[in-house]
Chains A and B, each alone.
Chain A
């Protein structure tokens, strides 16, 4: 059964960006794109019959145009009410077992930054599925093969981002670039720390670190199917900022959820938080735990929820 992919819609340029990215991802994930107008409604009015009627009217009028722009089968439009827009999208995704929620950049921030307390930020803390945030201007760029990137540090979470990236690249005929970041020296106890180097004559932790990162990246690229155009690049600096700096060259960067916290939930770690805050391109955060539909694999035991 095809699962829904929820597109949070607003009648703004950012809403159009979300629609464009959502349509592309729905196609890639073999999901039904559902355009949703999330309506914040006071709690006392939430269950009034008038509310239900008004919501239906909203869905019919406001969403007529956006849903018409979605091609393919299974496209739908609806309005969802809850005490906040983020909550409405979250609850809908939970109730329908959605594969992802896609929203536009916050209209309050500069350069599409994720603003604390915004709808996108709240979704990125604990959503029951993948969360994509479309970069500002994404809709205006027109459809073309995606330039995909994924961050890889050898962790299980990053491995999932890479696998999702491989699956997406295959279905969208896209290129995929894997990044490994060699961290900055200087923080407490960091191996690149001069503290360690000064204790052992000839020790150069920085070089060791760099060599290990290169091995890791090469090993991972080595097991990607040979027919996919995959590139590998080593970056230097603070991991989040290093990814922000290269984000201009891509259309979508995939990141895993952090390595602690509940399974099947999207929770950002500090690297992806920084990336979402500054990225020039769209970003997709994946929940912790493998989602076979995202990977396009028939893994029955894993797909069972």
Chain B
């Protein structure tokens, strides 16, 4: 399975590499996350870390040598599994133990200043669609870096390069972070950027709270101006825009079958620099057909896209 276009030395990615962490528990459904990691990391030459978390019961005292041995054996199995799925892509291993897989992954992403943390969908979800399990669900509420979720069965699809990156854009300040990451990925992957905006049907034509306004017309104008400005200022080779009438979640889910990757922002309230789903995002991550990245909201003064300095290989044995 080959992914990505051949490297053109003249348009080499920027020197600072992105750091991608992928969570892997050795179960079948983590193949999807690994495959997404491979498709993203390979063409952009990202630094890839595979993180395995084994849970333990905090109620038990830790004086069990055989328990240590059992853990070590299990870690080895998981990284063998990952290596097989990553098909030659080089990666660093990170062994984590703790009571909460989401907590450990979240902490690791923070320590490594990861640009992206990739996880899979639950085996209970529909095939071909995203559906968060409990770890992914926890990360989607409060993780300190962008979270990418692979649809169930993604690793069984015919691997293709990421040609179109969609971004949900509502021209509000909280959408800037999503746009920033989408532009960054589109540039590095040499993909087309697709800006997607929706004039919500939920908006009343004339609001009882603002009688003289035709709210939808005002909103459409605001969005058309917003996506136009964003597209013209985005430093990508090719971009297209779309402003449609409908329910925003439905429109984004529709687009998820026509783009290779969909980037959305966090909601506009709550703690900054944390992934947090709003009403639309909560639906998109339960229905989308392509991988979805949810980006935390930026604080005022944050650079549009943080690219961390490469950290050295680490082995973390948290406990």
Contacts and interface: CB of A to CB of B under 8 A. Distances in A.
A50 B269 CA distance: 24
Contact of A50 (B74, B97, B204, B211): B211
Contacts of A182: 59
Nearest to B53: A188
Contacts of A261: 106, 142, 274
B300 interface: no
A48 B209 contact: yes
A68 B135 CA distance: 44
Given A42-B219, A44-B210, A44-B215, A262 B58 contact: no
Contacts of B211: 50
Contact of A267 (B70, B142, B172, B210): B142
A203 B60 CA distance: 13
Contacts, number: 169
Residue of B25, B57, B58 ringed by the most chain A CB atoms within 10 A: B57
Given A41-B207, A260-B100, A154 B58 contact: yes
Interface stretch (A102-110, A163-171, A193-201, A219-227): A193-201
Interface in A73-88: 81-84, 86-87
B103 A259 contact: yes
A213 B71 CA distance: 22
A183 B138 contact: no
B107 to A, nearest CB: 6
Interface in A175-218: 180, 182-183, 187-193, 195-196, 199-200, 203, 205, 208-209, 212-213, 216
Contacts of A203: 66
A45 interface: yes
A54 B204 CA distance: 15
Given A45-B209, A270-B102, A191 B60 contact: yes
Contacts of A54: 208-209
Contacts of A27: none
Interface in A29-60: 39, 41-45, 48, 50-51, 54-55
Contacts of A41: 207, 209-210
Nearest to A199: B66
A183 B282 CA distance: 29
Interface of A: 39, 41-45, 48, 50-51, 54-55, 81-84, 86-87, 90-91, 94, 116-117, 121-122, 125-127, 153-155, 180, 182-183, 187-193, 195-196, 199-200, 203, 205, 208-209, 212-213, 216, 258-262, 265, 267-270, 273
